[in-house]
Amino acid sequence: MAVSMLLAVIFAVEIKGKNLLRMLPETLAKILASAVFICGLWNVLWYASQHLGEFWGNSALVSGFLLLISSLYLAPWLKTPQFLLRIKPLILLLLSCCGLLYSVTIYNL
């Protein structure tokens, strides 16, 4: 999950109008968006639903929703709602924090 979060942030961020996602072949971009979407679904529908109320269950719920939203940023062929585009920096910041939390925890194991 941490890898999918960090990949979503890396490929969704735009710096001076440039985006790494645009450099990928279309097929690879679709695979990346689909993988991020599936990871988000797994976090929300499976792990969070079974562990809601626990720290990692709540973390999975938050990060899962953030992954689902960020998969829209990775899918330029879909029409992303305007309000989600306005909060894109906040979504990516929160997702990078979740990815950092997961990464540090994995490292400490």
C-alpha 101/C-alpha 67 separation (Å) is 15
pLDDT in tens, 50-89: 999 999 999 999 999 999 999 999 998 889 999 999 999 9
- Give residues with Cβ within 8 angstroms of 44, minimum separation 6: 60, 61, 64, 65, 68
Domain spans, the chain: 2-108
Which has the closest alpha carbon to 66: 45, 46, 96, 86? Answer: 96
Position 18 scores a pLDDT of 85
> Helix 26-41 to helix 55-73 angle, to the nearest 10 degrees?
150
Q: pTM above 0.85?
A: yes
For residue 77, the model assigns a pLDDT of 84
